[in-house]
Amino acid sequence: MLLVAAGSQTTVASPLADTPPIGTAVVGYGYWGPNLVRNVIERPELEMRVMCDTDPVRRHACERRHPGLATVTEFDRVLDDPSIDAVLVATAPRTHHALVRRALLAGKHVLVEKPMARTTAEARDLITAARNAGRVLMPGHTFIYSPAVRLVGELIRDGVVGDVYFVTSSRMNLGKYQNDGVLCDLAPHDLSILFSWLDQCPVRVSASGCSVYRSDVAETAFMTVGFAEGATANIQVSWLAPRKVRQMVVVGSRRMVVYDDTASDEPVRIYDRGMDFGPPPANFGEYQLTYRTGEVVIPRVEPAEPLSLELADFAHAIVTGAQPQSHAELGLEVVGVLEAAETSVARHGAPVALPHLASATRDAVAG
């Protein structure tokens, strides 16, 4: 096993030193909202003004953790406050469309947690609203800011992996039950990572789900996504697993790469392994098949909190007008595949064709 110190290149928007901090509100202080509040407080480009949650218990939890931070129950007070330019929405997915739409119409820039909306119709409506209002609409696809994820993307784009044959992804844990189902909760991570890695267009999806507790809410799901250029991705997501698994394996013609998000010190391993098929035999001989079992390389990955990098990119997009790496068309594409996967689950795994959703997505995400 060979250890090399090849740092990953993470594109970090530099702090916008000469610009006053952007007045920011966080909406929703359940499981994820506290991470947003903490990171907004820590980012110099943003200024945490108010936290909004309809649940007084969650408001008090926020007040205890951040004494002096204003909290409100009514969303209208966020919208009516002219000192707030940016709104981060961390409520349940089924509430995203209505809240985000109102915030955009009120002239706020919006970062909305994944998935951006529950349907492609809703996602498209939000993109139109943002365009008309001239405001940034950014889905919170946090994992594409992970230095390890970006490193794997570079390995694929630089040709180290070769042609990508397939990707497998496992995201499992004894997870928090959500009424929107496990596909909606966890698969946006796998899909956004995949789209940031593969310069390929998803064309079909089939999925099946297992529901133990409520028949209409799958706690476990298995999804296969086919891409126009030939790659296949298989994704399994579950809240019913004995231990946390967050592993993706990329198998290519030249290398295989394992990305394990739970291995914080060494999340990426590059394997020089595979099968090499010789040229077709001239007459009735057998094909030559050799196995490659070369070295394993573990590149050094600089640690950085993806959510902090995501918020820096959001602020950069607001100030400069540049497209964020996690941009609205990426959010639309993720929602489109999720919607098709849910249709496939309802049809007992029948494949569902995907319309071409967002052609510019992967180029922009690749940065």
Ligand X SMILES: NC(=O)c1ccc[n+]([C@@H]2O[C@H](COP(=O)([O-])OP(=O)(O)OC[C@H]3O[C@@H](n4cnc5c(N)ncnc54)[C@H](O)[C@@H]3O)[C@@H](O)[C@H]2O)c1
Using the rule CB under 6 A, is 324 a contact of ligand X? no
Among 43, 58, 101, 171, contact with ligand X (rule: CB under 6 A): 58
Using the rule CB under 6 A, is 190 a contact of ligand X? no
Q: Which stretch binds ligand X (CB under 6 A): 39-47, 51-59, 118-126, 207-215?
A: 51-59
Q: Which stretch binds ligand X (CB under 6 A): 91-99, 225-233, 246-254, 322-330?
A: 91-99
Using the rule CB under 6 A, is 8 a contact of ligand X? no
Q: How far is CA 74 from the centre of its chain?
A: 29
Contacts of range 210-215, beta carbons closer than 8 Å, 24 or more positions apart: 210/240, 212/240, 213/177
**Residues 129-188 contacting ligand X, CB under 6 A:** 140, 142, 185
Give the x-and-dash track for 24-43 against ligand X (CB under 6 A).
---xxxxxxx----------
Of the candidates 187, 157, 164, 201, which has an alpha carbon nearest to the alpha carbon of residue 361?
Answer: 201
Cα separation, 108 vs 93, in Å, equals 19
Using the rule CB under 6 A, is 23 a contact of ligand X? no
Using the rule CB under 6 A, is 198 a contact of ligand X? no
Among 62, 84, 87, 93, contact with ligand X (rule: CB under 6 A): 93
Using the rule CB under 6 A, is 325 a contact of ligand X? no
Among 53, 85, 333, 339, contact with ligand X (rule: CB under 6 A): 53
Q: Which stretch binds ligand X (CB under 6 A): 89-97, 163-171, 214-222, 275-283?
A: 89-97
Q: Tokens 């570079």 — which residue?
A: 154
- The answer to whether 169 and 234 have CB atoms below 8 angstroms apart is yes
Within 8 A by CB and 6+ apart from 173, the residues are 238, 239, 241, 243, 244, 245
- The phi, psi pair for 347, rounded to 5°, reads -100, 25
**Nearer to ligand X among residue 127 and residue 251 (C-beta):** 127
Cα separation, 151 vs 248, in Å, equals 13
- Write down the least CB distance from residue 184 to ligand X, Å: 7
**Nearer to ligand X among residue 113 and residue 199 (C-beta):** 113
Within 8 A by CB and 6+ apart from 9, the residues are 150, 151, 154
Cα separation, 73 vs 367, in Å, equals 38
Among 91, 220, 323, 361, contact with ligand X (rule: CB under 6 A): 91
DSSP, residue by residue, 32-92: SHHHHHHHHHH-TTEEEEEEE-S-HHHHHHHHHHSTT-EEES-HHHHHT-TT--EEEE-S-
Count Cβ atoms below 10 Å from residue 27 Cβ, excluding itself: 26
**Nearer to ligand X among residue 92 and residue 364 (C-beta):** 92
Q: Tokens 């809703």 — which residue?
A: 122
- Write down the least CB distance from residue 198 to ligand X, Å: 21
Using the rule CB under 6 A, is 114 a contact of ligand X? yes
**Nearer to ligand X among residue 91 and residue 361 (C-beta):** 91
The residues that touch ligand X, with contacts defined as CB under 6 A, are 27-33, 52-55, 58, 75, 90-93, 95, 99, 113-114, 140, 142, 185
